[in-house]
């Protein structure tokens, strides 16, 4: 019989609740504990999701029935919980971004490597059926010579979102804005489809909000290792915000995706499957997942396949689809984007420091 994994959620704010719902939807998972720095938040979550509440992570990690820690604390605090999990011999599933600097990401990867535990990231968008079809077409070489990629996240966040204070919009705990917080899903999707980035040349700015440290608008020219060019443009300054667009083109095909749908799917060498894909998935979504508010369309149901793959990976002794190193890739691209904007120069990857 397949093992049932005991989960502890760290960080019981908005996305912690989404984790709770995802865990509840899996037959081989049981949420046994939760932890938050704010006692009232941990207690509220514990009551809603029927698990024990903690304010001390080390106490929660002592529990033998906790196998996996899912981490939903502010982005620049992921490392502490992920490293503590490894030291306690627990697997860790970490929200995006893995953390906000490469040093912090590497500390997570090294700790789990040393402990022999599994670490994975959350990029729930990779698990959409359309994203899986898109990836399959890319891996099969159906685009021919890839020439251009577009990652476009035209999102909106209100001034109130930033004014509420806390960690959002701070360099220290958010690690950036339109790219590191909102746009990272978009950046990740394009690099996943088109492969490693060779260099970026970017500019970011704060254009539509007041008293916020980080950027709300950014445009990057990207050169991929396979020779293709691309654009990664992300914003939280584009009222009212709409669906993200990912497009990959080559000399034998072009696919364009709007959130969970396609609006273009054409190849020089078509198969009968292509017409089926167009029939099932050609449509524009109404607003966009997360486009106008972090909570729009972000659900446990959409996180569930990411969680399920993580447990299956542990069962099968393989890396999860969104492994720790996979989750680090978009952080590296975004750090390079920020560096390029600051220096006015193109920045080559991999970054040396
Ligand atoms: N995958 C997605 O679609 C998605 C969507 C939204 C947020 N996120 C990510 O989830 C993470 C959390 O975002 P959120 O919107 O839920 O934030 P939030 O502010 O709603 O929740 C964060 C929680 O962490 C708690 N916390 C802070 N420091 C802590 C500590 N040291 N130990 C334990 N708990 C602590 C806070 O009290 C709060 O309850 C971020 O990294 C964010 O980027 C992912």
The CATH code of the domain that includes 184 is 3.30.360.10
When pLDDT is averaged across residues 321-331 and rounded to a whole number, the result is 98
Flag whether pLDDT at 179 surpasses 80: yes
Q: At what angle do helices 39-49 and 14-24 cross, to 10 degrees?
A: 20
Domain interval for residue 279: 125-291+330-348
Looking at the fold, whether 178 and 271 belong to one and the same domain comes out as yes
**CATH no. for residue 91?**
3.40.50.720
Atom of ligand 1 nearest to the CA of 11: 24
Looking at the fold, whether 62 and 192 belong to one and the same domain comes out as no
Q: Does any domain span residue 308?
A: yes
- The CA 322 to ligand 1 mean position distance, Å, reads 19
3-state secondary structure of 228: coil
Query: Which of 33, 49, 57, 72 has the most ligand 1 atoms within 8 A of CB, as the residue to mutate?
Result: 72
pLDDT tier, 1 (very low <50, low <70, confident <90, very high otherwise): low
Looking at the fold, whether 196 and 344 belong to one and the same domain comes out as yes
Flag whether pLDDT at 249 surpasses 80: yes
Convert 127-182 into a string of H (helix), E (strand) and C (coil).
HCHHHHHHHHHHHCCCCCCEEEEEEEEECECCHHHHHCCCCCCCCCCCCCCHHHHH
When pLDDT is averaged across residues 133-151 and rounded to a whole number, the result is 98
- The CA 86 to ligand 1 mean position distance, Å, reads 20
Q: At what angle do helices 102-115 and 324-343 cross, to 10 degrees?
A: 160
Q: Does any domain span residue 256?
A: yes
Flag whether pLDDT at 353 surpasses 90: no
Flag whether pLDDT at 83 surpasses 70: yes
Q: Is the peptide bond before 97 cis (omega within 30 degrees of 0)?
A: yes
Looking at the fold, whether 133 and 206 belong to one and the same domain comes out as yes
Atom of ligand 1 nearest to the CA of 122: 1
Instruction: Please compute, for residue 345, the number of CA atoms within 13 A of its CA located in the half-sphere on the CB side.
Output: 5
Looking at the fold, whether 86 and 158 belong to one and the same domain comes out as no
Looking at the fold, whether 282 and 146 belong to one and the same domain comes out as yes
Q: Does any domain span residue 267?
A: yes
Partners of 235 in the beta sheet?
Answer: 154, 217
Tokens of 190: 């394009």
Flag whether pLDDT at 2 surpasses 80: no
Q: How many domains does the chain have?
A: 2
Looking at the fold, whether 43 and 189 belong to one and the same domain comes out as no
- The CA 71 to ligand 1 mean position distance, Å, reads 8
Looking at the fold, whether 213 and 79 belong to one and the same domain comes out as no
Q: Does any domain span residue 353?
A: no
Query: Which of 22, 48, 74 has the most ligand 1 atoms within 8 A of CB, as the residue to mutate?
Result: 74
Q: Give the whole-angstrom CA distance, residue 135 versus residue 126.
A: 9
Closest C-alpha among 340, 4, 334, 347 to residue 171: 334
The answer to whether the beta carbons of residues 182 and 292 sit under 8 Å apart is: no
Q: Does any domain span residue 190?
A: yes
Q: Residue 324: which H helix or E strand, with range?
A: helix 324-343
pLDDT tier, 9 (very low <50, low <70, confident <90, very high otherwise): very high
Mean pLDDT score of the chain, rounded to an integer? 96
* pLDDT per position as a tens digit, 260-319: 999 999 999 999 999 999 999 998 877 778 888 888 888 899 999 999 999 999 999 999
When pLDDT is averaged across residues 47-66 and rounded to a whole number, the result is 98
Q: Which residue's alpha carbon is nearest to atom 8 within ligand 1?
A: 15
DSSP string, 19-50: HHHHHHT-TTEEEEEEE-SSHHHHHHHHHHHT
pLDDT at 285: 77
Looking at the fold, whether 267 and 285 belong to one and the same domain comes out as yes
Report residue 311: phi and psi, to 5°.
Answer: -70, -40
Question: Which residues form ligand 1's pocket by a CB distance below 6 Å?
Answer: 10-16, 35-38, 41, 72-75, 77, 95-96, 122, 124, 166, 181, 294, 298
Query: Taking the model in full, what pTM does it have?
Result: 0.97
Looking at the fold, whether 266 and 309 belong to one and the same domain comes out as no
Q: Which residue's alpha carbon is nearest to atom 15 within ligand 1?
A: 14
Looking at the fold, whether 145 and 271 belong to one and the same domain comes out as yes
Looking at the fold, whether 81 and 162 belong to one and the same domain comes out as no
Query: Which of 8, 13, 299, 334 has the most ligand 1 atoms within 8 A of CB, as the residue to mutate?
Result: 13
Tokens of 157: 């966040």
Q: Does any domain span residue 266?
A: yes
């Amino acid at each position: 019989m397949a093992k049932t994994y005991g989960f502890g959620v760290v960080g019981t704010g908005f996305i912690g609740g989404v984790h709770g719902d995802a865990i509840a939807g899996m037959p081989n998972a049981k949420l046994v504990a939760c932890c938050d720095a704010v006692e009232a938040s941990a207690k509220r979550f514990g009551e809603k999701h029927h698990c024990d509440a903690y304010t001390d992570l080390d106490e929660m990690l002592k529990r033998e029935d906790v196998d996996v820690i899912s981490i939903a604390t502010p982005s620049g605090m992921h490392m502490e919980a992920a490293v503590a999990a490894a030291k306690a011999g627990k697997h860790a599933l970490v929200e995006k971004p893995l953390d906000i600097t490469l040093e912090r990401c590497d500390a997570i990867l090294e700790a789990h490597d040393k402990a022999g535990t599994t670490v994975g990231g959350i990029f729930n968008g990779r698990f959409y059926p359309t994203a899986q079809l898109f990836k399959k077409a890319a891996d099969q070489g159906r685009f021919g010579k890839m020439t251009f990629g577009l990652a476009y996240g035209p999102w909106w966040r209100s001034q109130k979102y930033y004014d509420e204070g806390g960690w959002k919009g701070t360099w220290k705990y958010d690690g950036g804005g339109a790219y590191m917080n909102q746009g990272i899903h978009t950046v990740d999707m394009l690099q996943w489809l088109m492969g490693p980035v060779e260099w970026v040349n970017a500019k970011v700015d704060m254009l539509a909000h007041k008293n916020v440290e980080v950027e709300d608008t950014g445009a990057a020219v990207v050169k991929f290792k396979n020779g293709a060019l691309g654009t990664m443009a992300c914003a939280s300054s584009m009222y009212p915000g709409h669906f993200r667009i990912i497009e990959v083109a080559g000399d034998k095909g072009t696919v364009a995706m709007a959130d969970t749908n396609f609006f273009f799917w054409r190849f020089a060498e078509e198969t009968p499957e292509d017409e089926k894909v167009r029939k099932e998935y050609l449509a524009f979504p109404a607003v966009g997942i997360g486009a106008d508010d972090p909570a729009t369309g972000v659900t446990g149901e959409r996180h569930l396949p990411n969680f399920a793959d993580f447990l299956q990976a542990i069962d099968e002794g393989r890396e999860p689809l969104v492994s720790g190193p996979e989750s680090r890739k978009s952080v590296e691209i975004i750090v390079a984007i920020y560096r390029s904007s600051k220096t006015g120069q193109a920045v080559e990857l991999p970054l040396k420091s």
